[in-house]
A and B are shown apart, each in its own frame.
Chain A
Amino acid sequence: MEQKKYWQSFGELTNSAAHQKSAQDEFKEELPFDGFDARGLEQAGTPRRDFLKYVGFSTAAAAIAASCEIPIKKAVPFVNRPAEIIPGIADYYATTYVAGGDAIPVLARVRDGRPIKIEGNDRSSWSKGGTTAQVQASVLDLYDTARLRFPAANGKEVSTFEAFDKMVAEAIAGLGGAPLVILSSTINSPSGRQVISEFLAKYPGSRHVQYDAVSFSGMLQANEATYGKRAIPSYDFAKAKVIVSLGADFLATWLNPVEFQHGYTQGRKINPANPTMSKHYQFEGMMSMTGANADERFTHRPSETGAVAAGILAALNGQAVNVSGDKLKKGIAKAAADLAANKGAALVVSGSNDVNVQVLVNAINEAIGANGTTINWANPLLNKSGVDSEMAALVNEIGNGSVGGLIVIDANPVYTYFDGEKLAAALPKLKLSVALSEKLDETAKLCKYVLPVNHYLESWGDAEMKSGYVSLLQPTIAPLFKTRQWQESLLKWSGNTTGYHDYHKAFWSARLNGDSNYLAALQDGVIEPGASLALSTASFNAAPVAAAVAASAAPAKKGSVTDKTADVEVVLYQKAGIADGRHANNPWLQEMPDPITRATWDNYVMMSPSLGKKLLKIDIAVDTQADKYDAFPKKPVVNLKVGSKKAVTLPVLIIPGMQEETVAVAVGYGRSEEFGKASAGVGQNVYQLAALNGATVSYVTAGQVEATDATYPIATTQTHGKYEGRHEVVKEVTLASFQKDPRQIIEARAKELAPWGGLEHYEKDGTIYPVFDKPGIKWGMSIDMNSCYGCGACVVACTAENNVAVVGKPEVLRAHDMHWLRIDRYFSGNPHDPESIQTVFQPMLCQHCDNAPCENVCPVAATNHSSEGLNQMTYNRCIGTRYCANNCPYKVRRFNWADYTGADSFKHNQDIFDENPAVLMMNDDLTRMVLNPDVTVRSRGVIEKCSFCVQRLQEGKLQAKKENRPLTDKDVKTACQQACAADAIVFGNVNNSESAISKTRKENELRLFYVLEQIHVMPNVSYLAKVRNTDHISEHEAEEAKEGKAEAAKPAAEHH
């Protein structure tokens, strides 16, 4: 068939050239693409398509550019790398934390030449790697901006040490034989003591006086009277089945809390197979941290301590107990009965500085067979040697001009001595006064010559906290400033030309038989007695006891309370953080919440709820008033008067458990700005309220509080003190009920979870979503609430390890504190009945929930779950919506409200901290040297929280991988776990059945619980319920009463 041709145009018909061309091109018109090459971008015509392309490109480019990194401000690389430093690899040096007489063996973690973290040295047989908050914080003191930077004479810089030495030598010569006195804190350094004796030998007539800011003179003298030894024995709390403490805060500040916590905790751990525990009685006036951990706590006026001691002694001897108050009497009878029943496994300690009280305590310990069992005289504690009468005599001599010269080493008596004023008036009159001090302080300021000394991390040295147990110091960094160790100075001044380093080496090489042993000891950090020292007793001389009993009668109660004023007894105490005030300029310690009050950055009057009701018209037992009291940080202010002259004005915190007529104020506060930015203007100094009572300084005095109309804001990190019967949060049982029904906790859990698959299938059946396998490593933590005493060492350790920002009081007041780990403290019981108060400490940190509510709400997935079970925060992805923090049931997420760290790229945005010097201090170039380079410094506007120390986990995993072996518990330890002297925290790989965490969870299955388990967030931190060795749990009372009623009603109903 012939093909018919249809044509549309003549061009097509004729097949013209124009038609061919147009048929070839898809588009009839010229395509609007315009190459830039010929005319350049500017001249190029930009049709619509190109315009859209440009818009698309520039938007994308802008988005990419905006997400680029911000340039780094400073980075100083090594030109030549020192052989021993490998960037990114930390070195550990064994050394010893020394503060006054306290000496804790530690390891200093040094990164790129800077010490950044202190860890306990577990080679020490008594500290077992435990630390305190002060130890953890001490690394920051190295970089304290308030440190003295050069020697000075009469306030002017002295250019060289030689010139300074010459001046001092001339001044000593100019004394003309007038006595020269070395006044120091307790020195238990063997080589240091030798240096001092050499110096004293060089200058006849000179002497050495030791002085402790908080004195233990009463114990020393009592022991001298009854045992013939002016010393303090070792206490073994591990062996004590019954512990009675008469106001001794032995878990926080009394003598050697690291050792005591470790010992005490042996009696608090519950063996699942055979649940028993020690019984701890506390008799005290104030609410101490140790008291808060006691099984039974009885309160009395502090002046009654002697009467209570005499009462216990009388009860032990079967005599009548002469104390006021039925509860107290019963308590004494109960404690005495328990002590008597556990002879040889019981211990009584007292925090009193009264010789008579301590004599009575010795008599009790003698009666219960503690001497030689729980009290060991073989290796006395050497950290407190100051005797008050010696100090008093010295102050008198300085006052009357019979002392020629004074060399003050590491002591600040003008501030800490109760009669510091007298000393301050007399000091400038001395012909020669030399302060060997790390920082300018009240005493150094009045001295003619001030020679700054090294921080312990810059020093050589040694310490003997317990006789026979030596720990060595070695420098971890060259001195940052023109400073010199006091030992070296004394050597110079006594004409010994040996440097202290050589002296130290020779000293120990001689004792250890050779240099290599010395080097080995330096590496270990500790020199332990070869075999554990045998227990030793001391013979007891009962002669002084009768006099002590006679002197122990309590003074009559004053007890007048009017609308405005109240007679009270004032207790001066040390806080777990600030202690005697030596570390007052340490922002980490200032910001560490007090275990009991949860307050930061202040001291205050702790007052009982009953007195608060009468005097301040605030009844915290009434919800409305308690709510108001909780919700506003402004607290009432009172005048606290002692005697006719001494008075301080301080805010009040109402604390349950305080004895009604007792108020307590912490020492260590009230420094002026010249001694440091952080401590400036924080609280008031109350050392002057102490008084010389006979031979010893008494930290308990009679006084009067007077209500005022003023208020003062106190920055507390926790406002509400009760757990409101929320058993999903805190579980506690009595020992007796646990023994009777050990399955009660697990059964309660099973009952709660029964509708959702019970304990076994809860993970799967409690959700409609698929559940994922968790192979490989799965990190988990277990916290034993029975062995957390609230001391806060972990909190500071976490701060140091993770570069947690300090925010200062103004920000804590606004609840902007940044701690990743906090210790929640809950009271239960009737606020007006101090004996009924029970306290719980619960460390709270990110629970690393497997089904984390924070993760699914983040719009940008900045917080997500790792394959190892970590809930991880990606800081540079975070846009700061704070949704995760809202949705966190544990409220552990912290937001960077302002530029606390200087990591922000906005200029001048730290101007708002003008009234907040602590933040500025932490942002000083010097202070920032403490930052851990392994951990990102978070910038403003992002959320942060506990990471389970992920940098340590990575390091541990890499180590194991390099050595081609499976990960073990030793490879990874979180900072909090490491700091804990009581081993309350266990951490590790849950998927490894051999790991400590798996074992702990399995063995303690009956006590294990998860906080808020019922909301199916599947936390990875488990807690072990608190067991109290007591008759009942205060928090359960209301429920028991209800149940009792219900049960009582039941038979009646059946009857009908």
Chain B
Amino acid sequence: MAALRYESQVRSPLVTGEKTYHQVTEDIVRPIEGKPTRLWYIGLTISVVLLLFGVYSVYREVVYGIGEWNLNKTIGWGWDITNFVWWVGIGHAGTLISAILLLFRQGWRTGVNRAAEAMTIFAVMCAGQFPIFHMGRVWMAFFVMPYPNTRGPLWVNFNSPLLWDVFAISTYFTVSLLFWYSGLLPDLATVRDRAREKWRKRMYGVLSFGWTGSTKHWQRHEALSLVLAGLSTPLVLSVHTIVSFDFATSVIPGWHTTIFPPYFVAGAIFSGFAMVQTLLIITRKVLRLEDYITMEHIEVMNKVIVLTGSIVGIAYITELFISWYGQNPYEMAAFKNRYDLSTPYAWSYYLMMSCNVIAPQFFWFRSLRRNLLFTFFMSIIVNVGMWFERFVIIVTSVYRDYLPSSWSTYYAPTVWEVGFYLGTFGLFFTCFFLFSKFFPVIAIAEIKHILKKNGESFKEGMDKEERESVEEFAHENAHH
């Protein structure tokens, strides 16, 4: 009867360990219902300490002025906007995974989309701190909101890319949050339904918005997911495009570059996937979710990293080529200030180049793509590189621009400038730790779609028959 056996081997299962539906729920909800580990407490404590340090750094800056940072008359933006762009970029992977991959029906996304979306939201929260607190008068920040006011005919300036940022980032945050939360509803209901304690029942009851799992609910849920995915998809491209306009629309050589929008988007996805790797490699280990976030996921994301890293690399080289091809002395000088080893910031350019362009090329090797430690290491390298990309663009363009008389002294951050950045790490990880404790880090409902459990059960049942000869089979079945 072996001839009866025909199994399509096109895809290996996305969830390993032959999980049953119940096991899936058990595995994913376990961390929520159990006590957190020591490691979780240590991690959370460190994050909160960083967050508090960040709060104090911001307090100093708000009370004493931006002079608490080492920016100066030539370098108006430094670590602040570098961090902003970096964090916004990180967010992009989440939206890409949840929206674009949903539309493309990429089943593997279900293993990582929840965590990646959470990362998006936390990263955008962190990113938002910088444009707000880099303002000299943050208490007047509401001036950027276009609303009818008592200040006469004053209105915001719709020509300013910084104002576009306000809309782009707030839209992005809102849509991402809705998307993430609507996806959470069935899972929160699952947690509610399993809850034994009253408070848990009540809390998740409120959070799940009265989800009953009725067909109508599911139908609406699916429709909403598609609508939000449709809304998010252009956002993946538009948000970083608009962020890149901050620079591209300016007159400063090194900023004024038409290649920025695609280059920024590719860079954003690049760094976003690296951050997803960093987080998930730890999460799957700590929460014992290796069966859900498998080596396949890691590998597929590494492929995205090598692709986007190479796009970014081409962008870098194109920029250099155009600066030479354009023969604009100011632009040539701006790029010379990056690659010329005699200049003070050349090290940051080469650090960026090696982290973003050279390092990801290792992912052409399958064994390295499937190497956890190496992937983890690379994910850090890529994000260091991407941070320096923004630093190089922002600082090395502006510190020596048109008039040589205004060329700046060497810019290095103060402790409060670094503190603000660390504080956003604190915010990010505090949120992530709380998320991993109180929310299902994998979309339970969604991952159940892709379980091959039915097929596997059938296969198991058929096993005996397949091994039997025709005679045996006939004999056995003839009995009845």
Question: Chain A residues in contact with chain B, CB under 8 A?
Answer: 63-64, 66-67, 623-624, 627-628, 630-633, 718-726, 729, 811, 814-817, 822, 824-826, 842, 844, 853, 856-861, 877-883, 885-887, 889-891, 893-899, 904, 906, 909, 912, 939-943, 1011-1012, 1015, 1017
Contacts and interface: CB of A to CB of B under 8 A. Distances in A.
Contacts, number: 207
A857 B66 contact: no
B409 A890 contact: no
Contact of B137 (A631, A722, A725, A880): A880
B251 interface: yes
Contact of B251 (A718, A729, A941, A1017): A1017
B160 A826 contact: no
Contact of A859 (B70, B74, B147, B156): B156
Contacts of B223: none
A512 B342 CA distance: 70
B162 interface: yes
B407 A720 contact: yes
Given A861-B157, A941-B137, A889 B64 contact: no
26 contacts: A66-B139, A67-B149, A623-B342, A624-B342, A627-B342, A630-B407, A631-B409, A719-B409, A726-B330, A726-B403, A729-B404, A815-B408, A816-B73, A825-B405, A856-B159, A857-B162, A861-B160, A879-B143, A885-B76, A886-B250, A887-B251, A889-B401, A895-B136, A896-B136, A906-B64, A909-B65
A859 B65 contact: no
A170 B458 CA distance: 125
A882 B160 CA distance: 13
Interface in B137-173: 137-144, 147, 149-151, 154-157, 159-163, 166
Nearest to B330: A726
B357 to A, nearest CB: 25
A67 B340 CA distance: 48
A897 B65 contact: yes
Contacts of B138: 879
B136 A67 contact: no
B329 A879 contact: no
A817 B252 CA distance: 22
A726 B155 contact: no
A896 B72 CA distance: 10
Contact of A632 (B144, B249, B398, B410): B410
A722 B343 contact: no
SS of A interface (majority): loop
A909 B404 CA distance: 34
Interface string B337-371: 00011111000000000000000000000000000
A882 B71 contact: yes
Nearest to A724: B404
Contacts of A912: 64, 67
A856 to B, nearest CB: 4
A886 B134 contact: no
Contacts of B402: 726, 729, 889-891, 1012, 1015
B317 to A, nearest CB: 24
Contact of B150 (A67, A815, A889): A67
Nearest to A716: B409
Given A816-B73, A856-B159, A891-B73, A877 B251 contact: no
Given A879-B135, A898-B65, A814 B344 contact: no
A942 B137 contact: yes
Nearest to A60: B147
A858 B157 contact: yes
Contacts of A860: 143-144, 154, 156-157
A844 B404 CA distance: 12
Interface in B257-274: none
Given A632-B410, A826-B404, A859-B157, A878 B136 contact: yes
Interface string B108-140: 000000000000000000000001001111111
Interface in B297-347: 329-330, 333, 340-344
A719 B408 CA distance: 7
Interface residues of B, number: 63
Contact of B162 (A718, A881, A1011): A881
Contact of B404 (A722, A861, A887, A897): A722
Contacts of A890: 402-403, 406
Given A815-B73, A880-B136, A891-B74, A859 B163 contact: yes
A816 B72 contact: yes
Contacts of A879: 135-138, 140-141, 143-144
B77 interface: yes
B63 interface: yes
Contacts of A817: 73
The 6 closest A-B pairs by CB, nearest first: A880-B136, A941-B136, A897-B67, A815-B72, A882-B76, A824-B405
A898 B64 contact: yes
Nearest to A721: B404
A64 B149 contact: yes
Nearest to A67: B151
B252 A886 contact: yes
Contacts of B404: 720-724, 726, 729, 826
Given A859-B160, A897-B66, A882 B251 contact: no
Contacts of B143: 859-860, 877, 879
B67 A816 contact: yes
Interface string B369-411: 0000000000000000000000000000010111111111110
B47 to A, nearest CB: 29
A724 B162 contact: no
A63 B157 contact: no
Nearest to B407: A720
Contacts of B400: 720
Given A815-B74, A886-B398, A889-B251, A627 B344 contact: yes
Interface in B38-77: 63-67, 70-74, 76-77
Contact of B70 (A623, A628, A814): A814
Interface string B69-105: 0111110110000000000000000000000000000
Give the one of B140, B166, B400, B408 with max A CB within 10 A: B140
Contacts of A883: 76-77, 160, 162, 246
B73 A858 contact: no
B142 A66 contact: yes
A64 to B, nearest CB: 5
A730 to B, nearest CB: 9
Contacts of A824: 403, 405
Contacts of B343: 627
B150 A814 contact: no
Contacts of A844: 403, 405
B63 to A, nearest CB: 5
Contacts of A826: 404-405
Nearest to B76: A882
A724 B333 contact: yes
B252 A887 contact: yes
A856 B157 contact: yes
A621 to B, nearest CB: 12
Interface in B5-22: none
Given A861-B156, A887-B252, A891-B403, 17 more contacts: A624-B341, A628-B344, A720-B407, A729-B402, A815-B408, A853-B250, A860-B144, A881-B162, A882-B136, A885-B73, A889-B401, A891-B74, A895-B76, A897-B66, A897-B67, A943-B136, A1012-B402
B409 A815 contact: yes
Contacts of A720: 400, 404-405, 407
A721 B405 CA distance: 7
Nearest to B145: A63
Contacts of B405: 718, 720, 723, 822, 824-826, 842, 844, 891
Contacts of A630: 407, 409
A896 B401 contact: no
Nearest to A811: B67
A246 to B, nearest CB: 31
Contacts of B134: 881-882
